[in-house]
Structure 1
């Protein structure tokens, strides 16, 4: 049997990244089946006429992505079938790449300065309970009150007793799903949705149903059908522009989703991590259906990535369940981070940084409109990303691989697919993960690849 080898004539700079992508494509299309032993690094370097260090870096990149694994004394092998999903973003930042794959806010020296000031104040006046207590009810009354104040800015009027302080949105989402859907039950979400929801549902023993989306978000009639067919317990909805397609769901559509939830008596988990960031937004689902909606928001996407604190607003019927599930999974949020978040909510720092981020993202969208002129894409002035459908002539996986070989990392649309229904080839591009100059350069490269005819080797994977 002929053993597959990389084609040296198609290697591009940076060579290690190009080599890694060739091997990744060969694994994806079956040319390198699971368990195949890869060539010894020095031998492959000699065959390709490149440095051993280049092959070593390519293998290291593939190992980080979970595609290969080394075994002491035996060699390097294509990893057996991956049991864990590959994230849409780069797990590590590589210096040679312009990383537009990970969704994050713009960060500049102002953020470091504000955090240093907060840590200085905390060092001088840290509450004893933040360091010495095991009891959440002793630690968090002030933080819940600050959470209720922040949630008012998100459009909710809620008692502090209904606020759970969490270590960010992911923790809040986990608690919400555990509180509304027991293992073995089914939940619905957008067919192009949250990329961590699929593995999270798997770990929690939940079944996921993808609901089609249109220009206004989740389709109510499709949700109604899913309720009839699957005995749904909850729907996970992202009505504001954090969803991959950057859709801001209208108030009328929100009311229709709420009507279905009430007719079918299902819970709603509303993921609104942008909170007050989107200025002219309709009222949250949690305001339209407060009796059944668990509302999630946090600071990491709009204030600062390192401020890993979130709020889960919980209806009365789920308060006890949410409290117990928080205890058994995380016990309580990190008190020191909660102290900083509460101080920033009450003294206005958090909202000041939100306004700064909004102005900066508006400027980033102006860069996008220039760089992607003539290319159809989905966005919103206050989305942290854009969603770019690809021409029919391009394979999505090949396009992402080609962009990376050209020095730009972007997120493949398939990473956001929920369920088995195919979605059109697309990519998500983050606007805050690098500086404005690199964003402009990366977008120019993406535009060039869209306009160019795809290389024959990249038509399909």
Structure 2
């Protein structure tokens, strides 16, 4: 059992909340690791001199945040193993003073009844019950055809037979990495936390590559390729967390390096469809060596756990084995709703509404955070606030949280120790309304 204990003297918030906060911080800093067993409720209460009910409330909240988990007869164990354990940890609940701008989720759409209409139509057709069964080959073919249409509308030309259906984009990324089979994966120095989680679970090594304002640096990729790197994961559109988008010249430069050294590029493109002017995808510029990963969660609806993986010809021999694995994870009902929404235009209507709402939220950003350096376009669901070297991103995030707003420091995204650039990510879609976002931005402005 770990000897870790929180410190409650001098805290300015409820004891249960202080326990959860310090638990999350200990996991982030590595003093608590996945698998560490925590004291029992009674022992923790006795050691701290507080009521057992306070510890129980703290443990329950930490379980909700997926930081810890209890096993009957064995005890309570740490689940989080990295800084990204704190993501998805907060809820924008009315009774809480904390406003969560840490989770990159699309804005909620007012008067959203698209799901109710889709379910009602399926009930009227007498077709609903079959979606509690496994999908048939015919169903999967229809979903691939819908995916082909959606991808073609967003700068990815492919045929349905090339598409591997997955349970979300993160699942598609895991399938892509399995298809490539490399043990060392290149990535931007700051990368989305899901990639770090996949690498950890699969025992892969991430090779952090430097970035500049235009994205991944070609010369750095050249040097890594000369040293034997064979696969790179990158996010050319609205990069998470920096919101940077590669220029056409940068796309061509990276592809030129990939062709010289026979690299496989895995293009993560969950935000690209939000851009009002679409850039050519890497998959369209170099279809012979790019795996394209995308999905519908960040652009249409988070609950549509449907991801799309397009494989280059060199990897299509592994497609059947991948599909045998990925298809079992797909929700037939969710996939059918996605197919209908793509076919009847609902998906594009929702996408356009997301663009308009994000544009309105960016106007608030530019009004309230004036005087601060900002990175991101009006289509981006997140804002990046870059910091000068030496400014502590984690401390700024901690101060912001004390002011009542949750943001994410660059350390959470770091693929290597002391990765640059430093800054914080602010998720604009996470607030439940523009009014709530305005309140959060005012709090953040006071901290900055």
| TM-score of the two chains, using structure 2 as the length reference | 0.86
**What is aligned with 2:205?**
207
Q: 1:91 is matched with which residue?
A: 89
How many pairs are equivalent? 437
**Cα 1:110–1:274 shift into 2, 3 Å:** farther
Match of 1:342 in 2: 339
Deviation of residue 390 (structure 1)?
Answer: 4.1
Q: Is the 8 A contact 1:307 1:341 kept in 2?
A: yes
Cα deviation for residue 285 of structure 1 reads 0.4
Q: What secondary structure does 1:209 align onto?
A: strand
Q: Give per-residue Cα distances to partners, 1:100-130, cap 9 Å, x unaligned.
A: 110010113433x001101111223338975
For structure 2, list consecutive stretches of 5 or more residues without a partner in the other structure: none
Give the match for residue 372 of structure 2: 375
SS of equivalent residue, structure 1 residue 177? helix
Measure the CA separation in 2 of the matches of 1:414 and 1:432.
21
The verdict on how the C-alpha distance between 1:260 and 1:408 changes in structure 2, with shifts beyond 3 A counting, is same
Partner Cα separation in structure 1 for residue 6 and residue 334 of structure 2: 50
CA 128–233 in structure 1, closer or farther in 2 if over 3 Å, else same: farther
Tell me which of 423, 438, 441 is aligned to 1:440.
438
**Residues 65 and 86 of structure 1 are in contact (CA less than 8 Å); yes or no, is this contact kept in structure 2?**
no
Change in Cα spacing, 1:320 to 1:110, as seen in structure 2 (3 Å) is: farther
3-state SS of 2:207 partner:
strand
Q: 1:392 to 1:209 in 2, by over 3 A?
A: closer
Instruction: Name whichever of 339-348 and 52-61 sits farther off.
Output: 52-61
Question: Could you say which residue in structure 1 is the equivalent of 2:221?
Answer: 223
Return closer, same or farther for 1:127/1:259 CA change in 2, 3 Å cut-off.
farther
Offset at 1:444?
A: 1.5
Q: 1:118 to 1:24 in 2, by over 3 A?
A: closer
Change (3 A) 1:56 1:284: same
Segments of 5+ residues of structure 1 without an aligned counterpart are: 451-461
Higher mean displacement: 337-346 or 402-411: 402-411
Tell me by how many angstroms 1:42 deviates. Answer: 6.4
Supply the distance in 2 between the matched residues of 1:28 and 1:336 (Cα, whole angstroms). 37
Q: Partners of 2:74 and 2:327 in 1: how far apart?
A: 40
Instruction: Report the Cα distance in structure 2 between the residues aligned to 1:240 and 1:32, rounded to whole angstroms.
Output: 35
In 1: Cα distance, 2:37 partner to 2:373 partner = 41
**Other-structure match for 1:169:** 169
Question: What does residue 364 of structure 1 align with?
Answer: 361
Q: Secondary structure at the match of 2:330?
A: coil
2:146 matched residue in structure 1:
146
Cα pair 1:390 1:426 within 8 Å, conserved? yes
Once the two structures are superposed, what CA deviation does each residue of 1:217-237 show, in whole Å capped at 9, x if it has no partner?
A: 0111111111112x2231111
**Which shifted more, 232-241 or 23-32?**
23-32
**1:101 to 1:32, Cα distance in 2 relative to 1, 3 A:** closer
Q: How does 1:14-413 map to 2 (within 5 A)?
A: 16-18=16-18, 20-22=20-22, 40-41=44-45, 44=48, 56-62=56-62, 83=81, 86-93=84-91, 95=93, 96=96, 97-111=98-112, 113-125=113-125, 126=127, 135-136=136-137, 138-182=138-182, 185-229=183-227, 231-331=228-328, 333-390=330-387, 395-413=392-410
Q: Deviations over 1:24-76 (max 9, x none)?
A: 55777799997785964367356xxxx87555544544455576777999998
TM-score, with normalisation over the residues of structure 1?
0.84
Secondary structure, aligned partner of 2:305: coil
**Residues in 1 aligned to 2:440 and 2:297: alpha-carbon distance in whole angstroms:** 24
Offset of residue 387 of structure 1: 1.3
CA distance in 2, matches of 1:267, 1:377: 32
* 1-structure distance, mates of 2:72, 2:158: 57
Distance across 1 between alignment mates of 2:32 and 2:169: 38
> How many angstroms apart in 1 are the aligned matches of 2:319 and 2:184?
18
Asked if the contact 1:133/1:139 (under 8 Å) is kept, the reply is: no
Post-superposition Cα deviations, 1:326-355, rounded to whole Å, max 9, x if no partner, equal: 312543632222221111112111111111
